[in-house]
Amino acid sequence: MKIIPAIDIIEGKCVRLEQGNYSIKKIYSENPLEIAKQFEDNGIRNLHLVDLDGAKTGKIVNWKVLSQIALRTNLKIDFGGGIKSYNDLNIAFENGANQITAGSIAVKDKQQVLSWINKYGNEKIILGADVKSENIAINGWKVNTNLNVFNFISDYFKNGIKNVICTDISKDGMLEGTSIDLYKKILEKLPDIKLIASGGVTNISELNLLIDINVDGVIIGKAIYENKIKLQELQKYVD
């Protein structure tokens, strides 16, 4: 299972929100590059980098942070937040992203995302499925839709998507445990997708539960920053 720490960026700083609420923000570092280097120094090979300003404004804002981390570490970076067009994709890839996550745009403009998959391949494009009560939420989680998560992922899987990040918004940043039951249901219905769990991971024992249900990767954020999970503990799990 891939261990994927998260760095969320607002105004160039490393922050965490609670349930995507921009008004409940905690700054953990003024220097995201140093955080990324700490991850790499502990054997981590993957990074989930989110441009929260981009998610809010609908265009990439913090591309310089992406560029710095890509140039000065060997981390495999998946980048999301504000990606809406081929121009955004070019900005992300030119500044060092290995993969991009298509979230809101995958709901709003399916044909465009399918064209990205066709052009770049399904290893470069990750589907972002942000979930509230088993329905998809978009626009930095501010807008709830009636789109069922299982139907959403299944439709994209039929059209070539392989990697899916599923975030349970109710869990994100709350340190109350991850959504094992939701991920289990998704993998029972769609056993061939590569599912990356995101949101609420609080302790090391949860990683074993996620491994047991064949999750491909796990994104860990606040638990690392609040020292609920230590980087040294993660070393034995690194894929």
- Express each pLDDT in 74-130 by its tens digit: 999 999 998 999 999 999 999 999 999 999 899 999 999 999 999 999 999 999 999
Distance, in Å, from the CA atom of 43 to the CA atom of 75, rounded to the nearest integer, reads: 10
Above 90 in pLDDT, residue 238? no
Split into its structural domains, the chain has a count of: 1
Q: What is the pLDDT of residues 22-48, one digit of tens each?
A: 878 899 999 999 999 999 999 999 999
- The letter for the amino acid at 70 is A
| pLDDT value of residue 145 | 85
Local structure of 146: helix, strand or coil: strand
Output the six-digit token pair for 154.
């299944």
Above 80 in pLDDT, residue 206? yes
Query: What CATH number did the domain enclosing 141 receive?
Result: 3.20.20.70
Above 90 in pLDDT, residue 157? yes
- The letter for the amino acid at 85 is S
Output the six-digit token pair for 110.
């399916």
Share of residues in the chain with pLDDT > 70 (%): 97
In terms of DSSP bridges, do strands 76-80 and 135-138 run parallel, antiparallel, or are they unpaired?
Answer: unpaired
- 135 with 147: CB under 8 angstroms? yes
Extended strands (E) in the chain: 2-10, 13-18, 21-29, 46-51, 76-80, 99-102, 125-132, 135-138, 143-148, 163-168, 194-198, 217-220
Q: What is the pLDDT of residues 158-178, one digit of tens each?
A: 999 999 999 988 876 667 789
Above 80 in pLDDT, residue 140? no
Output the six-digit token pair for 216.
């491909």
Residues involved in catalysis: 8, 130
Does the model's pTM come out above 0.75?
yes
Read off φ and ψ for residue 138, nearest 5 degrees: -135, 180
Query: What DSSP designation does 215 have?
Result: -
Top-confidence residue, 11 or 176: 11
Above 80 in pLDDT, residue 239? no
Q: Which domain holds residue 120?
A: 2-237
Distance, in Å, from the CA atom of 224 to the CA atom of 6, rounded to the nearest integer, reads: 9
